[in-house]
Amino acid sequence: MSAPAEKSPHQNTVSPVRWSAVVLGGGDPGDPFAAAHGVPVKALIPVRGVPMAAHVLRALRGSGRVERIAYVGPTTPELDALIDVRVTDHGSLLSNLEAGVAALQSGLLPGERVLVATADIPMLRAEAVRDVLGSAPDAPLVYPVVRREACEAAYPGVKRTFVRVKDGTFTGGNLFLLDPALIGRFLPRLREVLAARKAPLKLAGIIGPGVLLRLLTGQLTVSKLEEKVSAILGVPARALITPHASVGTDVDKDSDLHVAEAHTDIHAAP
């Protein structure tokens, strides 16, 4: 399997795939970052005077590619005007994902895909959404990643977690694309992997010690990583290298919030 082709915003062809979206806006009610800003969850922290989640929802709406949006978590009247289905926070990331997809299921057409986005990427723009959807390979599970160089050029000084592989150094995106018909196949295994992420021996048992060693030493290629993830989850999974740094830049602390304020246009609504 060859490494995924890198896409430019100027090289896209519009995919005929129909898309809906799940936006994950839940969170820990005791989150000190949210509490310090006087809101119950991080997604409601204001950026340029509106909840950061509103910027994400506006980008999805403005893309012209997203038919319906399910939002998981507490909302405001401003957010309610931008969503189609409101879903109660189920307490964990994967439970919220499952609930969000389930809330869309009755209206999904055959072959329709779901874009999942976290609500804490307020620098996301409609152009980036269009580009990611238009560039996505035809696979049941697609995970956008961003090169370190793109992140540092767009937002100098922002701290991100990067992983080095043979193809370069990347950070993970806060979007991913899935075939909702297959969520029941890969979600249990994904839960197992996430539960083991802080237990090195258990994680090595799942992904294989040789693969883990090559990953930790930067000797693994993107294509080999795709193969391993596909085998673990039981569905074909692909990475999508995107030049849009906003996809991989979330807001977790006040320094991130300052960057978001500087790079977010309040008039960016569709």
Q: Is the dihedral of CA 77, 80, 86, 91 positive or negative?
A: negative
Query: What is the pLDDT confidence band of residue 198, given thresholds at 50, 70 and 90?
Result: low
Q: Strands 50-51 and 237-241, how do they pair?
A: unpaired
| Residue 28 confidence (pLDDT) | 84
pLDDT tens for each residue of 74-126? 999 999 999 999 999 998 999 999 999 999 998 999 999 999 999 999 999 99
pLDDT on residue 6: 56
In the predicted structure, residue 55 carries a pLDDT above the cut 60:
yes
Identify the pLDDT of residue 12.
42
Nearest to 266 by CA among 55, 20, 39, 27: 55
Closest CA to 166 of 221, 227, 239: 221
Backbone angles phi, psi at 168, to 5 degrees: 145, -170
Residue 22: predicted pLDDT: 98
pTM above 0.85, yes or no: yes
Instruction: With beta carbons less than 8 A apart as the criterion, state whether 118 and 244 touch.
Output: no
Q: Which two tokens stand for residue 261?
A: 């304020």
Q: Tokens for 252?
A: 């977790």
SS3 readout for 132-154:
HHHHCCCCCEEEEEEEHHHHHHH
- For a pLDDT cut of 90, what percent of the chain falls above it? 72
Residue 46 burial (C-beta neighbours within 10 Å; 0-12, 13-18, 19+): middle
The token pair at 70 is 């399910």
Partners of 19 in the β-ladder: 66, 113
How confident is the model at residue 14, as a pLDDT? Answer: 45
Q: What does the block give as tokens for 223?
A: 């294509």
What pLDDT does residue 90 have?
Answer: 93
Q: How would you class 138 by CB atoms within 10 Å of its CB: exposed for 0-12, middle for 13-18, buried for 19 or more?
A: exposed
The pLDDT-based confidence of 268 (bands split at 50, 70, 90) is very low
**Structural domains in the chain plus CATH codes:** 19-263 (3.90.550.10)
* Structure confidence at residue 2 as a pLDDT band (50, 70, 90): very low
pLDDT tens track for 205-228: 777 878 777 877 888 899 999 999
238-255 residue pLDDT tens: 999 999 999 999 999 999
Distance CA 117, CA 21 (A): 7
State CA 245 to chain mean position distance.
12
Cβ atoms within 10 Å, residue 56: 31
**Rounded to 5 degrees, what angle do the CA atoms 171, 174, 179 make?**
115
pLDDT digits 0-9 by tens, 120-158: 999 999 999 999 999 999 999 999 999 999 999 999 888
- According to the per-residue pLDDT averaged within each range, which of 16-20, 26-30, 80-84, 161-165 is highest? 80-84
Q: Is 38 left (phi over 0), alpha (psi -120 to 50) or beta?
A: left
In the predicted structure, residue 66 carries a pLDDT above the cut 60: yes
